[in-house]
Structure 1
Amino acid sequence: MPSHTQASGHNHALVVLTSLFFMMGFITCLNDILVPHLKEVFTLSYVQAMLVQFCFFGAYAIMSIPASKFIIKLGYKNGVIGGFLIAAVGCLLFYPAASSKLYPLFLFALFILATGVTLLQVSGNPYVTLLSKPGKESSTLTLVQAFNSLGTTIAPLLGSVFILAAVVKTPAEQAALDASALATYQAEQAASVQMPYLALAAVLVVLAVAVALIRLPKAEQVQTDSSHSLNDGKTSVWQYKHLVLGALGIFCYVGAEVGIGSLLVNVMGLPEVAGLNHQSAARYLAMYWGGAMVGRFIGSAVMSKIAPNVYLAFNALMNVLLIALAMTLGGHAAMWCLLAIGFFNSIMFPTIFSLAVNKLGRFTSAGSGVICTAIVGGAIMPVVQGFFADHIGLMLSFIVPALCYVYIVYFGLKGHKVQV
């Protein structure tokens, strides 16, 4: 049983880690601003523009396992510090990328930035579960991750002001400018990206220094104090069935969330749904992500009373029903059903994560790496849904995320159980 002093130290550490989750959400959601901006600046196709998301989520697939090995050697605290610093380097690379006007350099900078975020994910999520009181892992991680949702809510608002403020000219309009006017225009477009990301880099460096100066509990001590370890004689993280099933749950959840978020504006533009233009639909889209923030604060309280796996299964089942209603009813009812999914998505990532790493003991870091690799579902499942949208229709394509949520219902009811 942890002493009062130890518990107080753990609470202090959890407060510090909220900044980590806020920045992860903020950085990730800025991509939604970069995609339309870079598409216009570089006159890209939609496929080329979506390379922004592929590079970002692809970093999870490539770097999560190496990140877990880094943490095993150097510890969770150094993982957090390293994640902030690598992400800062990625932000700094946006400066030469904007100056050179080379899209591949933007993608490279984004991959470095995402590598830092991956390290933050791999170190931050298990660290929170290890710092939590036994039995309160899911509710604690959900509460801390609510600040991730706060970041995703604020980022588009600030990004639209600072990055999208400069009006992008068409290729024909650019061709009509004289050399001096064109140089001025290009400098404005570069600065619209350079300044925000330089500021972001500065914030990340400050956070890295702050974490370095703060005394945080060592994971080994936390595991011993909280009795999280399970002495089961296993020699590999892959021997934990609930961990593997949980990784598949993360793959399905992130894929469903990103796929729905990516297509909601198009759905709301359908004449048979709401017939909204993109600007109006985008304002409603904020409700999808804002619902996740509200749901996490509420979910943290609910899961202190209700078993996390039961609440997870309930939320996933609600999303299956909401998609079924949207596909059946159409009209404005379909729009509101799909927007409501954001609320029920809220607790899924932290709850699946905490259930999947439960009782991993010394394999917690490796398990985190496996789970974070599965975030690549955010790159793969939206493409699958897009394929179905092209071939069977936009509304019918939502059968893809519905099947993802069906699997999460299974994980919440049965797949999460630790088998000794």
Structure 2
Amino acid sequence: MAGIPRSSTPGAAVPAGASYRPALTLLASLFFMWGFITVINNTLLPHLRSVFDLNYTQTTLIESVWFIAYFVASIPSAKLIERIGYQKSLVVGLLVMAAGSLGMTLAASLPSYGVTLVMLFVIASGITLLQVAANPYVSVIGPPETASSRLNLVQAFNSVGTMLAPMFGAYLILGRSVGGTSKAGTVLTEAERLADAQSVILPYVLVAAVLAVLALVIAKFPLPAMGQATSRVAREERKRHSLWNHRNLVFGVPAIFIYLIAEIGVANLFVNFVSQPEIADLTFEQAGRYLTFLWGGMMVGRFLGALIMQKVPAETVLAAFSVGAFVVMLITVFTTGPLAMWMLISVGFFHSIMFPTIFTLGIKGLGPLTEEGSGLLIMAIAGGALVVVQGWLADAYGLQLSFLLTAACEVYILFYALWGAKPVVRGSGGAV
């Protein structure tokens, strides 16, 4: 399945007494970088909207291109890993991202909306390769009993990247541009648009340089070997099973897809929303700084949710968080001023546990089909590409009302938590 290369037996790669911590520390930097670069988009979008005079549909199309890359590049990434191995694939992924970042400087120099879309697709393709290679690698370079702990640790560094990126983007992109330091609705001259476009060059040169150095370090670093691929079940055994008989997976794939629409829609339109005069009346630069609270809420929610789930079933926690998200989104839509802004910020907390919880519930009880089911759930990340639907709603009915789409997404997550997540196998006469 896309995004799921053949995995190794956890713990098989590292000899007794060997230390995997230096490798884990280095890999954590990868998770930090792709979280950092992904969230830079949230401050980049309002900037590009101003530079190219885009409507909301065109603005959200930028993020759609980003998530289409997850769908398009996942299968080629898995095949590349099988051909050249994990370490070389990590290097290639970083170099692809670096090339895309340098390409962004070309797009800024022209400036060109089309070239911008292409280069963002290149960067996202590099991140996809890193995702496909790094996640299974982290799970096998240490003792199997701590595999989950290692994955959570490096994912925490991803959250650190998502928290710091808005400040970086607000200072080096929005803070250095006329559009970023002006009130919403300010009309820029052609000279100001060109100058604003070129403000992107320095940040992306810095990003490209860091990625290139990181690629060189990983290429030279003695990463532990992966071991032999063992996880695929025999063809004859798989013939007796069907993924589509598992209700929790059948409804879990669209749950991931729909959740991504909600998460990405909020993050991408946040700056435009809170900068409106009737909401917080901030400049884009000031609004960009508040994104830190949105992503910080997601980090806090992950830690708290993990603690709660030690005592409370995951389905119950997911249901409660989806109700909370639905309520705060309604308040966001039907109020104004700082209240609407802080309600939109708070949805980050309620969104925090949704992806990992849906993913875990989706593969529950799949047995020999777990790997294939995981592949379908990963491909569903492409749902983020449909954020363009919210952009169309914002153009047609207003930005604030477009967040009713987010509220509708929370309703489906609630349905999944209460009924769709129950691991009942159709035709088997019982639960798994």
Q: TM-score, normalised by structure 2?
A: 0.75
1:46-61 equivalence runs, <5 A: 46-61=56-71
Q: Is the 8 A contact 1:320 1:405 kept in 2?
A: yes
Q: Cα gap change, 1:2/1:389 in structure 2, threshold over 3 Å: closer, same or farther?
A: closer
User: In the alignment, is residue 294 of structure 1 matched against residue 300 of structure 2?
Assistant: yes
> Is 1:174 matched up with 2:217?
no
1:182 alignment partner in structure 2: none
- Per-residue deviation, 1:53: 1.6
Q: How much does 1:26 deviate?
A: 0.9
> Quick check: 1:157 aligned with 2:167?
yes
Instruction: Indicate whether 1:33 and 2:65 are aligned.
Output: no
Say if 1:36 and 1:383 are closer, same or farther in 2 by CA, change over 3 A: closer
Give yes or no for the alignment of 1:93 onto 2:103: yes
Which residue of 2 is the match for residue 233 of structure 1? 237
Residue pair 1:68, 1:365 contacting (<8 A) in 2 also: no
Distance apart, 1:409 and its partner CA:
3.4
Which amino acid letter does the alignment assign opposite residue 226 of structure 2? Answer: K
Does residue 146 of structure 1 match 2:153? Answer: no
* Per-residue deviation, residues 194-218 of structure 1 (Å, max 9, x unmatched): 3322222222233233334232352
Quote the residue 1:336 is aligned against.
342
Out of 226, 230, 238, which is 1:218 matched to? 226
Deviations 1:352-387 (A, max 9, x none): 33444567788777655533432222221x333344
Taking only aligned residues, the RMSD between alpha carbons, in angstroms, comes to 4.2
Q: Per the alignment, do residues 44 and 334 of structure 1 end up closer, same or farther by CA in structure 2, a change over 3 Å counting?
A: closer
Are 2:97 and 2:122, in contact at CA under 8 Å, matched by a contact in 1? yes
Q: How many angstroms apart in 2 are the aligned matches of 1:158 and 1:166?
A: 11
* Residues 1:408 and 2:413 are matched in the alignment: yes
CA contact (8 A) 2:328 2:347 kept: yes
2:268 maps to 1:252:
no
Change in 2 beyond 3 A, CA 1:10/1:163: same
Note if 1:398 corresponds to 2:403: yes
Q: Structure 2: which amino acid aligns with 1:277?
A: L
Superposition pairs of residues 5-24 of structure 1, within 5 angstroms: 13-24=23-34
Percentage of identical aligned residues: 41
1:199/1:281 CA distance change after superposition, 3 Å: closer
Residue in structure 2 matched with residue 192 of structure 1 by the alignment: 199
Matched AA of 2:237? G
1:271-319, CA deviations, whole angstroms, 9 ceiling, x for partnerless residues?
77x4533445444343212211222344444445555454334322321
- Identify the structure with the greater helix proportion: 1
Please report the TM-score for the alignment, with normalisation by the length of structure 1: 0.77
Q: How many angstroms apart in 2 are the aligned matches of 1:298 and 1:123?
A: 28
Which secondary structure does the structure 2 equivalent of 1:163 belong to? helix
| 2:72 maps to which of 39, 53, 62 | 62
Q: Does structure 1 residue 378 correspond to structure 2 residue 384?
A: yes
Deviation at 1:124, TM superposition (A): 3.1
When structure 1 is superposed on structure 2, of 124-133 and 212-221 the one drifting more is 124-133
Query: Shift of residue 165 of structure 1?
Result: 4.6
- Displacement of 1:115: 0.5
Aligned length: 404
Change (3 A) 1:358 1:21: farther
Identify if the C-alpha distance between structure 1 residues 135 and 391 changes in structure 2 by more than 3 Å, giving closer, same or farther.
farther
Give yes or no for the alignment of 1:319 onto 2:325: yes
Q: Which range is displaced more, 111-120 or 296-305?
A: 296-305
CA distance in 1, matches of 2:325, 2:295: 15
- CA drift of 1:116 comes to 0.4
Range moving further from structure 2, 315-324 or 357-366? 357-366
